[in-house]
A = this chain, B = another copy of it.
Amino acid sequence: MTIPIVMDVDTGVDDACALLLAACHPGLDLRAVTCVGGNTVVDDVVRNTLTVLDVAGRADVPVARGAARPLLEEPVDARHVHGDDGMGDLGWEFSSRQPDERHAVELLRDLFLAAATDGEPITLVPTAPMTNVALLLRTYPQAAQGISRIVFMGGAARHGNATASAEFNVFHDPEAAAIVLDAAAELGIPVTMYGLDVFYEPVITRAEAERLVASGGHGPAELAGALIAFQCDRFGAPSATIGDAGAVCAVLDPQGLQCVSMPVRVELAGTWSRGRTIADARDWAGDLAHDPHGKAPATIEVALGVDARRYADLWLHSVHG
């Protein structure tokens, strides 16, 4: 019994790792991938995404171009992290496949409406700023009926990375994240936040990466290894996180993740707090009547712990084929 999923990405080195897992694992039925500007410009995201899927032998998966920029924030440039081409400057040949003619929002709408009709709702896994998802849910809220749940990489219950308060994906389009949480609460979509409290933990060593590379043949294992090795080089570290791929692991293996159900809001204002995901750890069964804010509308699953080796191994074995 496979799980149908759609990914929304800004490929991106670790989105590539996530795509390889989603494309290769037999337990997932990857229906489509939508692209958004984030780690790099959206046209490069599309190209990188098509390339990764081709390498994984999944030229059948439709890829659609989405929003080129966040709703309100200025676009950012993360080439210092992801390389000039957004995918590690590995020198692999890029795919010449064309993306789907539809805008990402329309492709998502069509898939989810069909899934609703078929009674087989799909898991949506955004590993990028959630601009596309926000535009979808505000333009076509009825699409929610075809979404079984959203597992997104982003946010943090404790500490940020883009700022002391905020995590990158949410910081780069805070309004989009706020819309997604708000719409999910309104439309009844379960949400899991795979954020910084777990993100950096599942790691692959350089030795493991080199074994992947050694498998050769320009297949998914070689690409996966090269991506990890790139990160080890870039940060001068003996291992690198699988990053966004952890959110795909969370779909495949929820038992490997320790989640707590918490009311969560996205702070959009504030001098130092914009883009923070405020996870409310208090006991609302107790007396919180003096809180002037009241309980946040969206209660979601917040990942606070992960069996890091288990997720790293899941990824490693899956991409090794």
Verify if A272 is at the interface (C-beta below 8 Å from B).
yes
Tell me which of B105, B175, B282 contacts A71 (CB under 8 A). B175
- With a cutoff of 8 Å between Cβ atoms, the chain B residues found around residue A292 in the complex are 163
* CB of A172, distance to nearest CB on chain B (Å): 11
Verify if A116 is at the interface (C-beta below 8 Å from B).
no
Verify if A247 is at the interface (C-beta below 8 Å from B).
no
- With a cutoff of 8 Å between Cβ atoms, the chain B residues found around residue A71 in the complex are 71, 134, 138, 175, 179
Contact indicator per residue, chain A 24-42, by CB within 8 Å of chain B (1) or not (0): 0000000000000000000
Verify if A185 is at the interface (C-beta below 8 Å from B).
no
Verify if A141 is at the interface (C-beta below 8 Å from B).
yes
Question: Contacts A139-B105, A159-B282: A72 and B272 contacting too (C-beta < 8 A)?
Answer: no
Contact indicator per residue, chain A 135-178, by CB within 8 Å of chain B (1) or not (0): 10011110000000000000000111111110000000001001
* CB of A186, distance to nearest CB on chain B (Å): 8
- With a cutoff of 8 Å between Cβ atoms, the chain B residues found around residue A282 in the complex are 159-161, 164
Interface residue ranges of A58-112 to B (CB < 8 Å): 67-69, 71-72, 80, 103, 105
- Interface segment among A15-23, A219-227, A262-270: the answer is A262-270
Verify if A207 is at the interface (C-beta below 8 Å from B).
no
Q: Do B272 and A165 touch (CB < 8 A)?
A: no
Verify if A273 is at the interface (C-beta below 8 Å from B).
yes
* CB of A202, distance to nearest CB on chain B (Å): 20
Q: Do A72 and B175 touch (CB < 8 A)?
A: yes
Give the CA-CA distance A138 to B80 in the complex, in Å.
Answer: 26
Q: Do A179 and B72 touch (CB < 8 A)?
A: yes
Give the CA-CA distance A146 to B243 in the complex, in Å.
Answer: 41
Verify if A279 is at the interface (C-beta below 8 Å from B).
yes
Verify if A296 is at the interface (C-beta below 8 Å from B).
yes
Give the CA-CA distance A263 to B160 in the complex, in Å.
Answer: 13
Verify if A2 is at the interface (C-beta below 8 Å from B).
no
Q: Do B291 and A163 touch (CB < 8 A)?
A: yes
Verify if A242 is at the interface (C-beta below 8 Å from B).
no
Q: Do A140 and B175 touch (CB < 8 A)?
A: no
13 A-B pairs in the complex with CB atoms less than 8 angstroms apart:
A71-B71, A71-B175, A72-B179, A72-B268, A103-B139, A131-B138, A139-B139, A158-B281, A164-B280, A164-B296, A175-B175, A269-B273, A270-B274
Q: Which residues of A contact B (CB under 8 A)?
A: 67-69, 71-72, 80, 103, 105, 131, 134-135, 138-141, 158-165, 175, 178-179, 182, 263, 265, 267-274, 276, 278-282, 290-293, 296
